[in-house]
Amino acid sequence: MTRIPVKLPNEPNLSPQIIAEHGLSEEEYQRVLAIMGREPTLVELGLFSAMWSEHCSYKSSKVWLRKLPTKAPWVIQGPGENAGVIDIGDGQAAIFKMESHNHPSYIEPYQGAATGVGGILRDVFTMGARPIANLNALRFGEPSHPKTRHLVSGVVAGIGGYGNCMGIPTVGGETNFHAAYNGNILVNAMTVGIARTDRIFYAAAAGVGNPLVYVGSKTGRDGIHGATMASAEFSDDSEEKRPTVQVGDPFVEKLLLEACLELMATDAIVAIQDMGAAGLTSSSFEMAAKGGLGVEVELDRVPMRESGMTPYELMLSESQERMLIVLKPGREEQARAIFEKWELDFAVIGHLTDSQRMVLRWHGDVVGDIPIPPLVTEAPVYERPWTLTPLPPALDPRSVPLPRDWRASLIALMSCPDLASKAWIWRQYDHLIMGNTAIRPQDGDAAVMRVPGGGHKGLAMTSDCTPRYVQAHPETGGRQAVAEAWRNITAVGARPLAVTDNMNFGNPQKPEIMGQFAGAIMGMADACNALDFPVVSGNVSLYNETEGRPILPTPTIGAVGVIDNIAHSVGSRITQAGLGVVLIGETRGWLGQSLFLRELHGREEGAPPPVDLAAERTNGDFVRSQIAMGRVAACHDLSDGGLLVALAEMCISGGTGAEVAQPAGNAVPSHAFFYGEDQARYLIASGSADDVIEAAHAACVPAVLLGYSGGPLLVVKDLLSLPLGDIKTAHESWLPQYMSAAE
């Protein structure tokens, strides 16, 4: 039965301006009218606006996301739930996801980043997992931009402030700088949690009449229309949108985590969903929709932070640290006791119905009444026009001059913003709490964490993307991002299992941007298929533009792998002399889009390095097998900066030098050999290099001995000799010096 909702006092009439302010196009509003059969009330309009926003509906990206592989025997839950779930053996599951908080972090860096961490943590513990690690991928504008320092400082403090208080170690990530992010930074946060495979919680509501329970913080006026904001381009007055940014309280979230896990240990819960973007609207709506049910909500029962709040504000507030739970009948008091022990709000705010409608009541009156299925089935889905970025011509390395001063070239690369040590950042994050961190930031290609309750088992995790490659050729860049994540998991000795993707792009209504998105997806799909590396969760952030200038397309890949015995994992530090330094993989000398070309010659040109997925697989499987046999003391994948940068990183982090040479007879120009960014390559340090090389040849994997570790210098025959201290100082001082210049 359709009820005509009452109109509240002071409720404005819906003008075209109000409709436009809700981000609905004329065509979309006509759909609203068709579904409702009448003009919606303001709160109903707000609901459509939020649910059909790009952020919640994926209306521009959906047709493309379907092309990604999402299944494998070890996948328990793919995209569509709060987070992805994979089986890691012994009855345990890893639950993980990455999510962006780009727009809020630019407007208010501390709170924007902090609530980004809070949101992704909730996505993971909503499913029954105890979070064991956080990672984050950050992209800032160029260092010389007047806002960059302030943004770095605020974002890092916000991530640390939230994660440290929650007691979840922040163990990995990446930070880049590029002018394309000057007006639109990226803050992508990832959480990995562990649950029992038989104790995973989902959002689908069930059981007509079951109580709908609100727990956590009270609802305030913060973050109203955050989802709509996140779906629009920025203009120069975007700082004026500050009131749409939420404020985080990690202390309350810590209590919420403990209370939820305590309740989850009972059997009282039917379904649970966190209140993230679009708050109570999307959580209640999604729970009912997934269960094929209806829901009746008494909004006056929602715990409120301030008086005078309206149904509209309550439905659209993005106040943090809140959860919605469907309980089994009669379990209200058991649940209430747990939340009251943790000093959190607890309120029964409604119940499930069989009407397939969402009915909102305010002091008894119906103020909103929306049919649920059409909002999903008739949600706009756009096949936006797209133009693929053509592959630029490959750059001939011979067109790039050799360094006149090799020492200066290495120092310049090791201290450039993208390659300089990020210790200033990760030392502000508690990366050791819980006592499970086996490979710490900067000590290996991926963080390696002991799995609590999992015996000797470890989880490896990383986040990767090379946006300049994606910009030059999205398909190659998409492949490369997945391949690099797979390599980083491999390089610590773990088996890569699955990924989460965080797609950060510009305005999808521009065909070239939609083409970047399409190209990146095609490349990612190729790589995920070839490497058996399914996508189990993700997030799309579009409209990352300021005044029409888009960011570099940035499909960040978060990846997780497992290692059966954590004692067999290896880092990238060379800590002893006399180890053979072996290069695995083929080096053609690819300088196009390399950091060498950009940092030393100021050129961002050429095709990015091609990604041969068969070679990735063969070489990676080989490296993993050698690590498992105990033949590898240190391993590092080759990526940004190429071979010599990787070797320098291995030497300075381990405090041991090395002496290497380009193999005799190798015809690649020396700068392309040492700084080229060819893919599918690893550098390993081994006490049994001969055995490794023999095994490589047997496996048809290119492998060559470059030299040996030892001494206080990094020496490249005929080219350079540098004390490790000089490299280390250059590498470690750039970021602290840059940041202290502001103080």
Partner 1 sequence: MKAAVLVFPGSNREGDVAQAIELVTGRRPQMVWHGDGDFEKTDLIVVPGGFSYGDYLRCGAMAAQSPVMAEVKRRAQQGVPVLAICNGFQIATEAGLLPGVLMRNAQLKFVCHDVHLKVETSQSLFTNRYQTGQVIRVPVAHAEGNYFADADTLKRLEDRGQVAFRYCAPDGTVDGSGNPNGSIDNIAGIFNEAKTVMGLMPHPENAVEPMFGGCDGRALFEGLVDALT
Residues making contact with partner 1 (CB under 8 A): 157, 160-161, 164-167, 249-252, 254-255, 341-343, 426-438, 450, 566-567
Instruction: Classify 404 as helix, strand or coil.
Output: coil
Which positions are annotated as active-site residues?
55, 101
Residue written as tokens 């980083």?
488
Q: What does the alpha-carbon distance between residue 711 and residue 723 come to, in Å, rounded to a whole number?
A: 9
- Name the strand (E) or helix (H) holding 709: strand 703-709
Instruction: In angstroms, give the least distance from the CB of 164 to partner 1.
Output: 6
CB of 580 to partner 1, least distance (A): 25
**Which token pair is 425?**
């950042």
Closest distance of CB 147 from partner 1, Å: 20
Query: From the CB of 734, what's the least distance to partner 1, in Å?
Result: 18
Quote the CA–CA distance of 425 and 437 in Å, as a whole number. 17
Which residue, 222 or 249, has its beta carbon nearer to partner 1?
Answer: 249
**Whole-angstrom Cα distance, residue 74 to residue 679?**
27
- The residue among 494 and 536 lying less far from partner 1, judged by its C-beta, is 494
**Least distance in angstroms from the C-beta of 162 to partner 1:** 11
Which residues are 21's β-sheet partners?
Answer: none
Tokens of 316: 């659209």
Give the other-Cβ count within 10 Å of 240's Cβ: 10
Q: Shortest approach of partner 1 to residue 254 CB, angstroms?
A: 6
Q: Please tell me whether residue 497 adopts helix, strand or coil conformation.
A: strand
When the beta carbons of 169 and 585 are compared against partner 1, the nearer one is 169
Cβ atoms of 148 and 141 within 8 Å: the answer is yes
Cβ atoms < 10 Å from Cβ of 739:
17
| Shortest Å distance, C-beta 459 to partner 1 | 14
Three-state secondary structure call for residue 162: helix
Q: Which is nearer to partner 1, 166 or 685 (CB)?
A: 166
Which regions of 17-114 does DSSP assign to beta strands (E)?
Answer: 75-77, 84-89, 92-100
Distance CA 707, CA 704 (A): 9
In angstroms, how far is CA 611 from the centroid of its own chain?
22
Q: Which is nearer to partner 1, 429 or 674 (CB)?
A: 429
* 3-state secondary structure at position 175: strand
CB 708 within 8 A of CB 579: yes
State which residue, 119 or 248, has the beta carbon closest to partner 1: 248
The answer to whether the beta carbons of residues 212 and 350 sit under 8 Å apart is: yes
Residue 193 neighbours by CB distance under 10 Å: 24
Distance CA 319, CA 255 (A): 16
Shortest spacing between CB 427 and partner 1, in angstroms? 5
Which is nearer to partner 1, 250 or 478 (by Cβ)? 250
Q: List, in order, residues 6 or more apart from 94 with CB less than 8 Å away.
A: 85, 86, 88, 192, 193, 194, 459, 497, 560, 562
Q: How far apart are CA 185 and CA 355, in angstroms?
A: 44
Reduced to 3 states, what is the DSSP secondary structure of residue 697?
helix
Q: Which two tokens stand for residue 12?
A: 């404005």
Please report how close the Cβ of residue 343 comes to partner 1 at its closest, in angstroms. 6
> In Å, how far from its chain's centre is CA 92?
22
85, two tokens:
């779930």
For residues 22 and 49, is the Cβ–Cβ distance under 8 A? yes
In whole angstroms, the minimum distance from the beta carbon of 458 to partner 1 comes to: 9
User: Position 482: which residue type?
Assistant: V
What phi, psi does 623 have (nearest 5°)? -60, -45
**The amino acid at 313:** E
Q: Which is nearer to partner 1, 132 or 692 (CB)?
A: 132
Q: Residue 106 or 429: which CB sits closer to partner 1?
A: 429
Helix (H) or strand (E) holding 16: helix 16-21
Nearer to partner 1, 158 or 226 (CB): 158
Smaller CB separation from partner 1, 252 or 597 = 252
Q: Phi, psi at residue 365, to the nearest 5°?
A: -80, 145
DSSP 414-425: HTSTTTS--HHH
Binning the chain into helix, strand and coil, the percentages to the nearest 5 are: 35, 25, 40
> Which ranges in 300-402 belong to alpha helices (H)?
311-316, 332-341, 372-377
Nearer to partner 1, 196 or 427 (CB): 427
Minimum CB distance to partner 1, residue 220 (Å): 17
Shortest CB 185 distance to partner 1, Å = 20
CA dihedral 302, 306, 307, 309 (to 10 degrees): -60
